[in-house]
Amino acid sequence: MSNNTYTPPKVWTHQPSSDNKWANINSPESGARYEQALPVGTHPLQLYSLGTPNGQKVTILLEELLARGVAEAEYDAHLINIGEAEQFSSGFVAVNPNSKIPALVDKSGETEVKVFESASILVYLAEKFGQFLPSAGAQRTDTLNWLFWAQGSAPFLGGGFGHFYAYADDKQEYPINRFAMEAKRQLDVLDKRLAHCQYVAGEHYSIADMAIWPWYGNLALGKLYDAGEFLQVGQYTHVVRWAKQIESRPAVQRGRIVNRTFGEPQEQLPERHSAADIDAVLNQ
């Protein structure tokens, strides 16, 4: 444990302390930093995103809808490069005042609908097309329970563990230990749940799985933060079984590469405007 101590000042002020762009990209002030309109494609659904775990949730659902023959789920996916602060353009802020990806604009009706926050987008699309979310009853409640479990838990994995383990300038024992413990506790919650059911909300694949897999499925498969050995993810056998099962779905393989600009070439598709765009990447 470090002997260094920090005494908070009486009044906090924003003082970027390094050249780490991930530490300095945000500020205490919200809103647009520059004027720029968003691009618009030809489909009714316009997605503005990046292929992070939060972005993958929505593109996986859209590809699952298309796989089920829902032609109205065709979409354009435009890249928002958060490392270059594109989430602070006036166009993006007009869709999501919180400047976080993903954000969706539905132009299919007389009045366009703006949807932000990944869970909100999942619910919106699932209800719009009547897929992957039961319409009523205990199954719907279970699905929403686990969907919002993901929304409440993943920040501890990403902004907590991931930041201090993978991205912080200095490796600090206290925050890494604190968030590693929480990440493992969350994996244990999932493991005990999946010991008794095929999918997280029961026996049917749902938007809850799509919300949880990009974070915890990738973690269990050793594809997140290069932390598989550190967290001993293999001990969560039921999570690993579920993660492999979801990974094998063709629509997941398609959705996970959309708006992705990192990894192997066959994993990257900065923008998607038709099924052929994904086919070209996967067929490399």
CATH for 150: 1.20.1050.10
* Residues whose CB is less than 8 angstroms from the CB of residue 4 and which lie 6 or more positions away in sequence, other chains included: none
Q: In terms of domains, do 126 and 151 share one?
A: no
For residue 76, the one-letter residue type is: D
Q: In terms of domains, do 115 and 165 share one?
A: no
Which letter does DSSP use for residue 84 in this model?
A: G
Looking at the chain, how many residues does it have?
Answer: 284
Domain annotation covers residue 279 = no
- Rounded CA-CA distance 149/135 in Å is 19
Reported as type and span, the H/E element at residue 105 is strand 103-106
pTM for the structure as a whole: 0.95
Q: In terms of domains, do 170 and 217 share one?
A: yes
What's the pLDDT at 284?
86
What's the pLDDT at 2?
54
Q: In terms of domains, do 194 and 153 share one?
A: yes
Domain annotation covers residue 16 = no
Q: In terms of domains, do 146 and 216 share one?
A: yes
Q: In terms of domains, do 105 and 162 share one?
A: no
Q: How many domains does the chain have?
A: 2
- Rounded CA-CA distance 28/170 in Å is 23
Phi-psi region of 180 (alpha: psi -120 to 50; beta: other; left: phi over 0): alpha
Strand 103-106 and strand 45-49: the pairing is antiparallel
CB–CB of 138/213 below 8 Å? no
Q: In terms of domains, do 108 and 160 share one?
A: no
- Rounded CA-CA distance 62/151 in Å is 19
Domain boundary among 108, 132, 156: 132
Domain annotation covers residue 189 = yes
Q: In terms of domains, do 147 and 241 share one?
A: yes
Domain boundary among 78, 104, 132: 132
Domain annotation covers residue 2 = no
What's the pLDDT at 22?
67
Q: In terms of domains, do 184 and 207 share one?
A: yes
Task: Report residue 108 as tokens.
Answer: 């299919």
* pLDDT, tens digit only, all 284 positions of the chain: 455 688 999 999 988 766 777 677 888 999 999 999 999 999 999 999 999 999 999 999 999 999 999 999 999 999 999 999 999 999 999 999 999 999 999 999 999 999 999 999 999 999 999 999 999 999 999 999 999 999 999 999 999 999 999 999 889 999 999 999 999 999 999 999 999 999 999 999 999 999 999 999 999 999 999 999 999 999 999 999 999 999 999 999 999 999 999 999 999 999 999 999 999 999 98
Domain annotation covers residue 21 = no
CB–CB of 222/186 below 8 Å? no
Domain extent at residue 49: 45-132
**What's the CATH number where 116 sits?**
3.40.30.10
Helix 173-194 to helix 137-155 angle, to the nearest 10 degrees? Answer: 160
Domain annotation covers residue 266 = no
